[in-house]
Amino acid sequence: MSDIIRLSAAALADRLAAGDISSVEATQAHLDRIAAVDGDIHAFLHVNEKALDAAADIDRRRAAGEQLGTLAGVPLAIKDVLVTTDMPSTSGSKILEGYLSPFDATVVARSRAAGMVPLGKTNMDEFAMGSSTEHSAYGPTHNPWDLERIPGGSGGGSAAAVAAFEAPLALGSDTGGSIRQPAHVTGTVGMKPTYGGVSRYGAIALASSLDQVGPVTRTVLDAGLLHDVIGGHDPHDSTSLTDAWPSFAAAAREGATGEVLKGLKIGVVTELPDSGFQPGVAASFRDALDRLQAHGAEIVEISAPHFEYGVAAYYLILPAEASSNLAKFDSVRFGMRVDVAGGTVEDVMAATRDVGFGEEVKRRVILGTYALSAGYYDAYYGSAQKVRTLIQRDFDTAFGQVDVIATPSAPTTAFKIGEKIDDPLQMYLNDLTTIPANLAGVPGISIPSGLADDDGLPVGIQFLAPARADARLYRVGAATEALLVDAWGGPLLDRAPVLNERSRTMQEGSR
Amino acid sequence: MSEITPELVRHLGVLARIQLSDAEVERLTGQLDVIVDNIAKVSQVATPDVPATSHPIALENVFRPDEIGQTLTHEQALSNAPDAADGRFRVTAILGEEQ
Amino acid sequence: MAAALMDFDKALELYEPVLGFEVHVELNTKTKMFSAAPNSFGREPNTDLAPVDLGLPGSMPVVNEQAVRYSISLGLALGCSIAASSRFARKNYFYPDLGKNYQISQYDEPIAYEGQVEVELADGTLVQIPIERAHMEEDAGKLTHVGGAAGRIQGAAYSLVDYNRAGVPLVEIVTKPIFGAEHGAPELAAAYVRTIRDIVLSLGISDARMERGNLRCDANVSLRPRGQEKLGTRTETKNVNSMRSVERAVRYEIRRQAAILAAGGTITQETRHWHEDTGVTSPGRPKSDADDYRYFPEPDLLPVVPAPELIEQLRAALPEPPATRRRRLKAEWGFTDLEFQDIANGGVLAEVEQTIAAGAAPTAARKWWTGEIARLANAADRETSELVEPAAVAELQKLVDAGTLTDKLARQVLEGMVAGEGTPQEIVDARGLAVVSDDGALIAAIDEALAAQPDVLAKIRDGKVQAAGAVIGAVMKAMRGQADAARVRELILERAAQ
Ligand SMILES: [Mg+2]
Ligand SMILES: [Zn+2]
């Protein structure tokens, strides 16, 4: 395996800037890795045929002395929920098979402008509905730690791609944990920014009031670097914040010194019972907290009495908004059309949506239609919006007492593919700890906390901060990461099983 | 118990323009019944004194100046159309009337 | 499809009509409500589109600030309160002319609510129309039905969709139920729409051309038996796209419903479609459970919270209310009650005002709009106000004032204007209609005529000046009417004296 692909994005960027490695070499190394392992992982739905051209262009510009962005020349995997002009964007659905967008998502345009090289589009649960990537219309993605297990979801493709060293960085989207929960089960880093901190323009909407685009990486610093590229105000997204954001990469670098832990107040939610978590997950979480405490952090018990209503509120708000957002897939302007002999346009629309949507999508669209329909609105959607207020108040109270809140990123480690697919309710409970951040709009980051002692699979610790305090998460996340990696004697991913490389086309270790 | 019935699911399918088979209606009825029983608990704490939150981060008056910006070319607009004629999107006969 | 109808007076004897209107006004902003694509009319299909107008995946709406200001101004002109906080909502329903299969509209928090509009009837009666709300929303695309009879939806083989109109800013004005219109109900309907048109024109926020759909009226009609408290079942008649049609449609619905009720039948709550050609309404979709629009707050947009200073600024800039304006103009122009009612009832007040503003004398402007233009409109079965532009009428009158055109020639030029042949001057040039002011040509014609009628010449020379009439006729005929008769007369007397 080429050592180029094992470099962090920050290290790769340094080598590119120094001229040690060209972007073409770096891109080729990742394309080779994809060719070698993606048959087993299935992280990618589409590999960019023009990646090497984009890389060569960056190399030319660098050679010409052009001032390039920090991540210029670094390859990037893009979750298929983000529309791209040069690659199909399907959001994991058959109904959008082959769809070519006439515009780039803002985060994609910004990545390109920063000189990053799009490697391809990554697999996901259809329309980001799921926690396992089993609901992709194009087949499941496999967890690089155990190919029989799920890589999390909905952004399992992006997480698996970075965990399998197929890409140093990826873009994800997080509606109820779709960046953080895959990070948890793949031993990677996932950051959901403050709602409005990163543009949603060009992200195929699932639930507009919950969706947020963010970085999927192997290190906290890499996440900060990517966040610096994609973040900031976008006039195309009315909900985009106009705040002047600090450099998140700088925050991560500052955090890595560990200073931030001295006197840091970390809240632990009393209402999240240990019993709800797999023992190995709970143990890893406690262990991480102990280490943080040993380095000067103070662990404070806080109460968030309404978090337990979060999942219920989420599974009303999400389907409701999704049922409306997905109405545009009607076979008229784009996407699949199923013809019905002698049928009216109504018949054609209904047949197309029956064939084009997968089971989970239909389930949620029907549920959302119900939640919004006359006579049920107040009891369901209206009440769920009130629960949002209550959860925001819980956060406000908590952040009056602590700097960050910590939770396990998810209740269990990666489960087996197929294990929960017939039990939607069990599947929904997976998002228990990640959902409150989406409902309240606050930022959250998941970083590896270790391996569960009961099954040897990765576990993540999630930190939550007040809205707009994303930089605090980079500081605390980087400090925790430095502490743990030091204790482990190397990154957690070093302990992942070696993947079987099927076809090697590139010269090994060219440098 | 919630009030999810096959008739309701079928009606929701019409509203959502999804042609559900009988088997799908049956399966969804059972699943939605369980899910709705679990999510209905939001009404326990959603008392009248609690205001609803539609947007996680409160903003207001986000506007765009009335200036013409970038538009799609005619070709771009029609590039993904399943069917088109005379520069327009083509659909089969419409049954219902306009709203 | 012709339904049984009851005599109108008989219907009014038995039932009290209750009216309600939903008027949609297209705003004339430069761009759409939620996108920076041009707000255009008549362009090539599917050319003025931004991603959100087609509902493309990943697209998002952003509110046009000017549309909000226009909406507030309109709300104020309708005497409404402006909401301290207003928000957008999604109205969910599937229809191929909707790019997203939901319309962004307003539901529980409209921008303006609780107003009142004063409407004047032909006899000068003032009626107060209670306004429930005015809300902002977006227009839908345009469907063309192909393969059916006369482009009707029924029986069409397929339909074509042009989304250029999708996203054009609309304000929907909804009245409360209107009682007490009685026999004047049909007239009140037209007068109400005319008043809304006058208001939006005076605000300059809409082109308000009904034939282009800038202004569209849905008329709600219900009847209740005399003495009954409870309101009857209403129908909503759509597609009524001229003031004349609004009047006719309301009259038709009153007569149709009365016939059904008198025969012991019940009225179906439904939307009905007005057919301009046959003058009847026909049933659309019945209102049923299927009309479950699943409104919810639009998560992609944020509340509109107009600053009190902005509201006051817009209030201060409001034009005067129509009734006040009518009183003022009547005095300014010096018309009698009758003369002024001609203008008001003809629905051409704004046109007369604009024609005068463009330089024509009040009497001339009134004469054009209530005379020849109204006659041509009537003959063509079109709205008088939509036939020609006021500025062009003023230009035409200028040519008359300058002696370039006689009244008779001017009428010919007007016909050319209606036919779209160009500006008055262009038509004069193209048709060669100008009065011959070259005395040389006139004298040649006069000499010829006098030579042909020596007896007449003798009479004139004898002092029988009125005999000149016969020569004038011959000269005018020779000049094909393009001469000023007074000048011809002058010249005849001159030549005869020589
Ligand atoms: Mg309406
Ligand atoms: Zn409307």
* Tens-digit pLDDT profile for residues C402-438: 888 888 889 989 999 999 899 999 998 888 777 777 7
What per-residue confidence (pLDDT) applies to B96? 57
Residues 279-338 in A contacting B (C-alpha not used; CB under 8 Å):
306, 309, 311-313, 315-316, 323, 327, 330-337
Separation of C349 CA from ligand 2 center, angstroms?
A: 28
Q: Lowest mean pLDDT: which of A159-173, A352-366, B11-25, C318-332? A: C318-332
Q: How many whole angstroms separate alpha carbon C200 and alpha carbon C28?
A: 10
Distance from CA of A326 to the nearest CA of B (A): 10
User: What does the block give as tokens for A440?
Assistant: 């309240």
**Do B77 and C156 lie within an 8 Å CB cutoff?**
no
Sign, CA dihedral A326-A327-A332-A338, equals: positive
From the list A422, A440, A438, A420, the residue with the least C-alpha distance to A430 is A420
| pLDDT-based confidence at residue A421 (cuts at 50, 70, 90) | confident
Separation of C92 CA from ligand 2 center, angstroms?
A: 13
**Do B71 and C67 lie within an 8 Å CB cutoff?**
no
Could you report the per-residue pLDDT of C206-219, keeping only the tens digit for each? Answer: 999 998 999 999 99
Residue that is written with structure tokens 């039905």 in the block: C145
What per-residue confidence (pLDDT) applies to B97? 52
Q: How many whole angstroms separate alpha carbon C98 and alpha carbon C95?
A: 6
pLDDT above 50 for C1: no
The DSSP secondary structure of C13-70, one letter per residue, reads: HHEEEEEEEEEEEE---SB-SSSSSB--SSPSTT-S--GGGGT-TT----EEHHHHHH
| pLDDT-based confidence at residue A242 (cuts at 50, 70, 90) | very high
pLDDT above 90 for C493: no
What per-residue confidence (pLDDT) applies to C434? 77
Could you report the per-residue pLDDT of A164-198, keeping only the tens digit for each? Answer: 999 999 999 999 999 999 999 999 999 999 999 99
Distances in Å between the alpha carbon of C232 and those of A426, C220, C255, C261? 52, 11, 14, 10
Q: How many whole angstroms separate alpha carbon C116 and alpha carbon C285?
A: 31
* C253 close to C221: Cβ distance less than 8 angstroms: yes
In chain C, what are the domain boundaries? 8-312, 334-431, 439-497
User: What does the block give as tokens for A72?
Assistant: 């210029």
pLDDT mean across residues, chain A: 95
| pLDDT-based confidence at residue A508 (cuts at 50, 70, 90) | very low
| Dihedral angle computed from the Cα positions of residues A207, A210, A215 and A219, in that order, rounded to the nearest 10 degrees | -130
Buried b (16+ CB within 10 A) or exposed e, A8-18: bbbebbebbee
Question: CB count, 10 Å around CB of A500?
Answer: 10
What per-residue confidence (pLDDT) applies to A503? 57
Percent of chain B with pLDDT over 90: 85
What per-residue confidence (pLDDT) applies to A506? 43
Of A425 and C20, more confident = C20
Could you report the per-residue pLDDT of C71-106, keeping only the tens digit for each? Answer: 999 999 999 999 999 999 999 999 999 999 999 999
Q: What are phi and psi of A291, to 5 degrees?
A: -65, -40
Q: Nearest by CB to A238, which of C99, C102, C301? A: C301
Percent of chain C with pLDDT over 70: 97
**What is the mean pLDDT of the segment spanning C139-158?**
80
Q: Nearest by CB to B60, which of C289, C299, C302? A: C302
Q: What are phi and psi of A75, to 5 degrees?
A: -70, 150
Q: Nearest by CB to A334, which of B45, B81, B94? A: B81
* A151 close to A159: Cβ distance less than 8 angstroms: yes
Residue type present at position C301: L
pLDDT above 60 for A511: no
Separation of C139 CA from ligand 1 center, angstroms?
A: 12
What per-residue confidence (pLDDT) applies to A1? 56
Q: How many whole angstroms separate alpha carbon A171 and alpha carbon A158?
A: 7
Q: Lowest mean pLDDT: which of A139-143, A268-272, C308-312, C347-351? A: C347-351
pLDDT mean across residues, chain C: 91
Question: Nearest 5°: CA angle at A382, between A377 and A386?
Answer: 165
Question: What is chain A's alpha carbon radius of gyration, rounded to the nearest angstrom?
Answer: 21
pLDDT above 90 for C383: no
* A219 close to A481: Cβ distance less than 8 angstroms: yes
Q: How far apart are the first and last CA of chain A?
A: 12
Q: How many whole angstroms separate alpha carbon A493 and alpha carbon A481?
A: 13
What per-residue confidence (pLDDT) applies to A333? 98
pTM above 0.80, yes or no: yes
**What is the mean pLDDT of the segment spanning A356-382?**
94
pLDDT above 80 for C117: yes
User: What does the block give as tokens for C295?
Assistant: 């409104």
Q: Nearest by CB to C96, which of B60, B72, B94? A: B94
Q: How many whole angstroms separate alpha carbon A162 and alpha carbon A79?
A: 12
| pLDDT-based confidence at residue A425 (cuts at 50, 70, 90) | confident
What per-residue confidence (pLDDT) applies to A183? 98
Q: Provide the β-strand partners of residue C173.
A: C23, C134
From the list A107, A36, A101, the residue with the least C-alpha distance to A71 is A107
Q: Lowest mean pLDDT: which of A169-173, A324-328, A338-342, B95-99? A: B95-99
**Do C60 and A321 lie within an 8 Å CB cutoff?**
no
| pLDDT-based confidence at residue C375 (cuts at 50, 70, 90) | very high
Q: How many whole angstroms separate alpha carbon C451 and alpha carbon C466?
A: 18
- Sheet strands (E) in C72-206: 81-82, 89-92, 102-105, 112-120, 126-138, 142-146, 158-162, 169-175
**Do A316 and B42 lie within an 8 Å CB cutoff?**
yes
Q: How many whole angstroms separate alpha carbon A386 and alpha carbon A384?
A: 5
Separation of C29 CA from ligand 2 center, angstroms?
A: 18
Of C337 and A30, more confident = A30
**What is the mean pLDDT of the segment spanning A334-350?**
95
Which residues in chain C are contacts of A202 at CB distance < 8 A?
Answer: 58
| pLDDT-based confidence at residue C331 (cuts at 50, 70, 90) | very high
Q: Does domain C439-497 have CATH number 1.10.10?
A: yes
Q: Lowest mean pLDDT: which of A105-114, C36-45, C122-131, C255-264? A: C122-131
**What is the mean pLDDT of the segment spanning A17-21?**
96
**What is the mean pLDDT of the segment spanning A140-154?**
98
pLDDT above 90 for C136: yes
Three-class SS state of C456: helix
Could you report the per-residue pLDDT of A48-100, keeping only the tens digit for each? Answer: 999 999 999 999 999 999 999 999 999 999 999 999 999 999 999 999 999 99
What per-residue confidence (pLDDT) applies to A507? 39
Q: How many whole angstroms separate alpha carbon A83 and alpha carbon A100?
A: 8
Distance from CA of A454 to the nearest CA of C (A): 42
| pLDDT-based confidence at residue C59 (cuts at 50, 70, 90) | very high
CA C454 to chain centre: 58
What per-residue confidence (pLDDT) applies to C482? 79
Burial of C115 (0-12, 13-18, 19+ CB in 10 A): buried
**Do C58 and A205 lie within an 8 Å CB cutoff?**
yes
What per-residue confidence (pLDDT) applies to C290? 54
Residue that is written with structure tokens 């004005």 in the block: C173
What per-residue confidence (pLDDT) applies to A509? 35
ipTM of the complex: 0.96
Could you report the per-residue pLDDT of A31-50, keeping only the tens digit for each? Answer: 999 999 999 999 999 999 99
Separation of C22 CA from ligand 1 center, angstroms?
A: 6
Q: Lowest mean pLDDT: which of A44-53, A108-117, C191-200? A: C191-200
What per-residue confidence (pLDDT) applies to A164? 98
Distances in Å between the alpha carbon of C273 and those of C93, C166, C233, C234? 20, 22, 17, 14
Catalytic residues of A: 79, 154, 178
Question: CB count, 10 Å around CB of A287?
Answer: 17
* C89 close to C295: Cβ distance less than 8 angstroms: yes
- Interface check A201 vs C, CB under 8 A: yes
- Sheet strands (E) in A377-475: 404-408, 444-451, 458-464
